[in-house]
A and B are shown apart, each in its own frame.
Chain A
């Protein structure tokens, strides 16, 4: 199945640093979702974006819906050890389907 390109694939950062990751597609999407998945568990919704250019925050997390509608970005400020996990983006096209396409994931490790 199709997947969205997510970058970077993995990253090691020091506690307290800011983190940026992005998700790109060749197709236009009308909704972007960002999830975090811990090992052996289901993904947990972090932020939902519904309009091009939209910037939404959830605590230390901020996500943006790209103006081209083909990308989205997630930033984590002042990272802490519990931020470790895999972050997935998911996009829904404008074709009226309720299906979401998932990104390849960004694996984040935070060094204390």
Chain B
């Protein structure tokens, strides 16, 4: 149980294009999902909290117009990197909160974004 998937697992795009990343909880409902960014050999940095049916809450320093988050259902949250630039290249990981059991977070496998 407690499986979270992400799609795509990797993506390469040209500078200026937008990229959408999906995060799905496969066997539980997640009213809250989280989006993290991880640079090589560093820890996970929380970007935003995604709440089903309401606006996402962004961490300080994260541009909400740059990283659009939509949490349209209890099993799906999407992160769209708009007008991507090379500095947006990173490993993006989502997690989903299983509030029905013990409030733990389960992570997706991550999406490697490379912007040329």
B-binding residues in A (CB < 8 A): 1, 3, 31, 33, 35, 40-45, 48, 50, 88, 90, 92, 98-105, 107
Is A98 a contact of B44 with CB atoms below 8 Å?
no
Which B residues are within 8 Å of any A CB, using their own CB? 2, 4, 6, 32, 34, 41-46, 49, 59-61, 91, 93, 95, 97, 99, 102-110, 112
Main secondary structure on B side of the interface with A: strand
Residue ID in chain A nearest B31 by CB atoms: A98
> What residues of chain B lie closer than 8 Å to A43, measured between beta carbons?
44, 93, 107
Given the known inter-chain contacts A42-B109, A45-B106, please indicate yes or no for A3 contacting B32, CB distance below 8 A: no
What CA separation (Å) do A104 and B42 show in the bound complex? 7
* CB < 8 Å neighbour of A42 from B32, B42, B108: B108
Return A40 CB to nearest CB of chain B, in Å.
Answer: 7
A41 CA / B63 CA spacing, docked (Å): 25
Which residues in A have their C-beta under 8 angstroms from that of B110?
40-42
